[in-house]
């Protein structure tokens, strides 16, 4: 899981991805809308300004005709012309000097409203080419004055700007609400997915899992249902596996017990008889007098051979007892596991005065079923023997405890540590097979402070499986 989770940490989260996508779409939409608004503003300003300039030109020409026919008043133009929208009128006399119109210029009432004006950058974007018309006013062929009608798009641009800002505020508010809602909804999805991850992680590491509560989102609820079904199937398969393996180890133990029994019951008396026979031959060789005492060299050789036989049988008896102890630790049948281990460690301590084996037992049940009891016993036996034999250790520490449904056995020593490449013999291979058969793991590694560290982790069988294994 570690590589996958490292990959997962590098990947973008669902929330970042969705919110980032929505923000990107919003940014593109805002750019497109801005471009459309600017183009529309330009078209509207051009149309409005064109129509206003046309209208103003028409009205100025009518006024000019009236002035030419009737003569002028105080002002060169009628006052209503001065208030036309989207145009600015400039009047110049025949010499080209601007004349005052006596009132505010056309369009001034809009320009005074500074708040409603578009900012300069928008006005520049939406600006349209200037539209100017010039009308000469004459009377009897004599030029009186000249009127310049210039289009002023500012009002239209300001109107568009007003619409844009209103629309932008609504769009920002709506998008903000959408993003907030997505943020919260995706947070809930993330929390649900987090629970999935914890459950899958527990399944992967063979820890007990609680069924997932169904999330409120339908698809996730279906997924949770699937994960729960998978967890149930997996734990049933694991339980079955443990049960079968425990049975396998139990059968092995039974077989060993049988062999041990036969070695003890059959071979033991035979060797005893052989030894007694050889001893009596040696004795008889010295006692034989009829028909004549055996010549001394012959009697001596006979005694020698018989004593040799006795010594061989004695060695066979020792080997047989050692074999019996290895095949079937008798202690396990009669005393709790902790006591059997204590007596094993005591035995191991007697091998060599210069070396010490310490045993530290945590909370332990009396028995975990014959399969697991025998496995722990043999692993301690093999682990300590290896530390003394291969590591040449002076101190070996054996720690065994039960916790959170697991049994942990750690054997550390102060020896020379395992070689870079460990060539497994029967010891480690047998240990691994037994431990794996019971659903556990084992590892031999260099110790933190030198030496070697043998590490075993085994699931504690449920009570029914313990019975099954017994």
Residues binding ligand ATP (CB under 6 A): 382, 386-387, 390-391, 413, 415, 417-419, 422-429, 444, 452
- Residue 452 binds which one of ligand ATP, Mg ion, none, with CB within 5 to 8 A depending on kind? ligand ATP
Q: How many Å apart are CA 368 and CA 376, to the nearest integer?
A: 10
Beta-strand pair 356-361/395-403: parallel
* By CB under 5 A, residue 412 contacts Mg ion: no
Q: Using the rule CB under 5 A, give the single segment among 255-263, 276-284, 321-329, 384-392 that binds Mg ion.
A: 384-392
Helix (H, G, I), strand (E, B) or coil at 150: strand
**In the numeric block, which tokens belong to residue 435?**
């431990």
Q: Cβ closer to ligand ATP: 17 or 441?
A: 441
Number of neighbours of residue 91 by Cβ within 10 angstroms:
22
Phi, psi of 178 (to 5 degrees): -65, -45
Q: How many Å apart are CA 459 and CA 438, to the nearest integer?
A: 8
Q: Which residues pair with 446 in a beta bridge?
A: 452
The minimum distance between CB 418 and ligand ATP, in angstroms, equals 4
Tell me which residue has tokens 């070396």. Answer: 355
Give the CB-side neighbour count of residue 313, counting CA atoms within 13 A. 19
- Residue 403 binds which one of ligand ATP, Mg ion, none, with CB within 5 to 8 A depending on kind? none
Q: How many Å apart are CA 101 and CA 85, to the nearest integer?
A: 16
DSSP 359-400: EEE-S--S-S-HHHHHHHHHHHHHHHHHHHHTS--SEEEEEE
- Residue 154 binds which one of ligand ATP, Mg ion, none, with CB within 5 to 8 A depending on kind? none
Q: Cβ closer to ligand ATP: 222 or 352?
A: 352
Number of neighbours of residue 288 by Cβ within 10 angstroms:
13
Q: Cβ closer to Mg ion: 214 or 427?
A: 427
* By CB under 5 A, residue 78 contacts Mg ion: no
- Residue 370 binds which one of ligand ATP, Mg ion, none, with CB within 5 to 8 A depending on kind? none
Task: Identify residues 280-299 at the interface with Mg ion (CB under 5 A).
Answer: none
Task: Identify residues 218-237 at the interface with Mg ion (CB under 5 A).
Answer: none
Q: Cβ closer to ligand ATP: 155 or 413?
A: 413
Tell me how many residues contact Mg ion (CB under 5 A): 2
The minimum distance between CB 454 and Mg ion, in angstroms, equals 11
- Residue 120 binds which one of ligand ATP, Mg ion, none, with CB within 5 to 8 A depending on kind? none
* By CB under 5 A, residue 381 contacts Mg ion: no
DSSP 216-244: SSHHHHHHHHHHHHHHHHHHHHHHHHHHH
Phi, psi of 462 (to 5 degrees): -60, 160
Give the CB-side neighbour count of residue 301, counting CA atoms within 13 A. 4
206: left (phi over 0), alpha (psi -120 to 50) or beta: left
Phi, psi of 109 (to 5 degrees): -65, -25
Q: Using the rule CB under 5 A, give the single segment among 130-138, 146-154, 305-313, 382-390 that binds Mg ion.
A: 382-390
Q: Cβ closer to Mg ion: 78 or 427?
A: 427
Q: Using the rule CB under 5 A, give the single segment among 96-104, 143-151, 351-359, 423-431 that binds Mg ion.
A: 423-431
| Sole binder of Mg ion in the list 50, 268, 336, 427 (CB under 5 A) | 427
The minimum distance between CB 435 and ligand ATP, in angstroms, equals 13
CA dihedral sign of residues 363, 367, 372, 374: positive
The minimum distance between CB 452 and ligand ATP, in angstroms, equals 4
The minimum distance between CB 348 and ligand ATP, in angstroms, equals 13
Q: Cβ closer to ligand ATP: 367 or 395?
A: 395
Q: Using the rule CB under 5 A, give the single segment among 104-112, 167-175, 350-358, 386-394 that binds Mg ion.
A: 386-394
The minimum distance between CB 389 and ligand ATP, in angstroms, equals 6
**In the numeric block, which tokens belong to residue 19?**
């919110």
- Residue 422 binds which one of Mg ion, ligand ATP, none, with CB within 5 to 8 A depending on kind? ligand ATP
Q: Cβ closer to Mg ion: 227 or 454?
A: 454
The minimum distance between CB 314 and ligand ATP, in angstroms, equals 25
**In the numeric block, which tokens belong to residue 27?**
């940014």
Q: Cβ closer to ligand ATP: 331 or 396?
A: 396
The minimum distance between CB 323 and ligand ATP, in angstroms, equals 14
The minimum distance between CB 429 and ligand ATP, in angstroms, equals 6
Q: Do the Cβ atoms of 433 and 249 come closer than 8 Å?
A: no
Q: What is the dihedral of CA 235, 240, 242, 244, to 10 degrees?
A: -170
Q: How many Å apart are CA 185 and CA 397, to the nearest integer?
A: 54
* By CB under 5 A, residue 386 contacts Mg ion: yes
Residues that bind Mg ion (CB under 5 A): 386, 427
């Amino acid at each position: 899981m570690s590589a996958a989770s490292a990959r997962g940490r590098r990947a973008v989260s669902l929330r970042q991805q969705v919110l980032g996508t929505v923000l990107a779409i919003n940014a593109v939409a805002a750019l497109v809308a801005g471009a459309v608004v600017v183009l529309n503003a330009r078209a509207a300003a051009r149309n409005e300004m064109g129509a206003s300039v046309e209208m103003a030109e028409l009205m100025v020409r009518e006024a000019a005709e009236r002035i030419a026919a009737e003569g002028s008043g105080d002002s060169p133009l009628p006052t209503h012309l001065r208030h036309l929208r989207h145009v600015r009128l400039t009047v110049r006399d025949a010499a080209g000097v601007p004349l005052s119109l006596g009132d505010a210029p056309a369009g001034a009432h809009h320009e005074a409203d500074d708040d409603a004006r578009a900012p300069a950058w928008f006005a520049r974007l939406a600006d349209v080419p200037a539209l100017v018309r010039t009308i000469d006013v004459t009377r009897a062929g004599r030029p009186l004055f000249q009127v310049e009608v210039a289009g002023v798009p500012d009002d239209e641009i300001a109107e568009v700007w007003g619409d844009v800002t209103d629309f932008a505020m609504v769009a920002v508010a709506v998008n903000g609400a959408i993003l907030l809602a997505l943020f919260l909804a995706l947070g809930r999805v993330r929390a649900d997915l987090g629970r999935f991850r914890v459950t899958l992680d527990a399944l992967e590491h063979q820890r007990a899992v609680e069924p997932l509560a169904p999330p409120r989102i339908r698809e996730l609820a279906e997924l949770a249902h699937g994960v729960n079904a998978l967890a149930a199937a997996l734990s049933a398969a694991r339980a079955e596996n443990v049960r079968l393996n425990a049975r396998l180890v139990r059968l092995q133990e039974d077989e060993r017990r049988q062999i041990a029994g036969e070695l003890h019951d059959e071979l033991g008396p035979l060797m005893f008889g052989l030894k007694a026979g050889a001893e009596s031959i040696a004795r008889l060789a010295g006692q034989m007098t009829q028909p004549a005492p055996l010549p001394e060299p012959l009697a001596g050789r006979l005694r020698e051979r018989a004593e040799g036989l006795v010594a061989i049988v004695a060695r066979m008896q020792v080997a047989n007892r050692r074999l019996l102890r290895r095949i079937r630790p008798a202690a396990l049948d009669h005393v709790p596991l902790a006591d059997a281990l204590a007596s094993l460690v005591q035995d191991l301590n007697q091998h060599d005065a210069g070396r010490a084996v310490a045993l530290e037992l945590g909370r332990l049940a009396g028995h975990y079923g014959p399969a697991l009891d025998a496995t722990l016993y043999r692993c301690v036996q093999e682990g300590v023997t290896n530390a003394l034999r291969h590591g040449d250790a002076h101190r070996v520490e054996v720690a065994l405890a039960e916790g959170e449904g697991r049994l942990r056995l750690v054997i550390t020593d102060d020896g020379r540590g395992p070689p870079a490449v460990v060539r497994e013999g029967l010891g480690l291979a047998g240990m691994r097979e037994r431990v794996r058969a019971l659903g556990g793991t084992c590892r031999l590694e260099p110790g933190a402070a030198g030496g070697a560290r043998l590490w075993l982790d085994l699931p504690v069988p449920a009570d029914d499986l313990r019975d099954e294994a017994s």
